[in-house]
Amino acid sequence: MTITLDQIQAPIAAEMTEFEQKFRASMQTKQLLLDKIMGYIVKRKGKQIRPMFVFFTAKISGGDPLPEASFRGAALIELLHTATLVHDDVVDESNYRRGFFSINALWKNKIAVLVGDYLLSKGLLLSLENDDYELLKIVSNAVKELSEGELLQIEKARRLDITEDVYFDIIRQKTASLIASCCAVGAASAGADKETIERARLFGEKVGMAFQIKDDLFDFGTAEIGKPVGIDIKEKKMTLPLIYALSQADWLTKRRVIYNVKNNDGRKDRVQAVIEFVQQSGGLDYAIKVMERYRDEALAVLHTFPASASRTSLEQLINYTIERNH
């Protein structure tokens, strides 16, 4: 029987409800247009996995019951992360985000950029007004890493010469740094010592690496995942299954595949040719093994914390995200 997100969330269900109310209230503003947009942002929230990581990590680090700082830490991450997503949609000229219209699609780029700035400053003020300097330091560092990771990926996408090491650097910065900061913020908000905060951060980083590799696998499709989509290939993104498959190929095959990635222009036959090449070259099996290695490393770090309902939920949360099929 597959465990649901609601079941995983059970030990912190009351705190999640409280957080939602507090977050919604904090987003209200007297400026009418801004208030309308903030309402829209709050309404289209995702699975709330980031606050879950903050609260569970706070609890296993000694914050039970959760201190107010944990709620502020979760809000800070949501504000800064949402700001980066709003700006991302402008940069990518994307009209949709999780099946909803993006802010820039509904209100144009200028407003979307200003809204992103507003969310950013709201997060900074929330921390400064409460002297949460440690939390602010952790999250600001994650935003810096995120930007660097994006820029590194853009720079490398032009030449398509990404090695495995560079790929790991990119996903460590782009994806893992955010989950690492959720876990570090959780531990710090519970008043944990530096060693515990670092352990929590390392746990989150390893989880984040496994998450991203899982995402990359969706692009190629396996029996568990379903039909391939090829979005990364269309966007000329070099992901682990493709990098590995290319490293195993002869010079001529490599040249042909890279040509198809570079010049696919969204053409289904070229994208499909790349997908089939990766599937036949063991790229998926290799990426699954690497993903499972990161998961096992994350669980090993997690087990250095005392056993509790929250620790069990974190284990379930990792498995839920690794085994998901959408």
- What is the mean predicted confidence (pLDDT) over 297-324? 94
Strand positions, DSSP E, the chain: 96-97, 100-101
Average pLDDT over residues 139-161: 87
308 touches 223 (CB < 8 A): no
How confident is the model over 254-258, as a mean pLDDT? 90
| pLDDT tens per residue, range 124-140 | 999 999 999 999 999 99
Hey, is 286 helix, strand or coil? helix
- pTM metric for this prediction: 0.91
- pLDDT at position 52, please? 95
CA distance 198 to 84: 24
d(CA 179, CA 156): 24
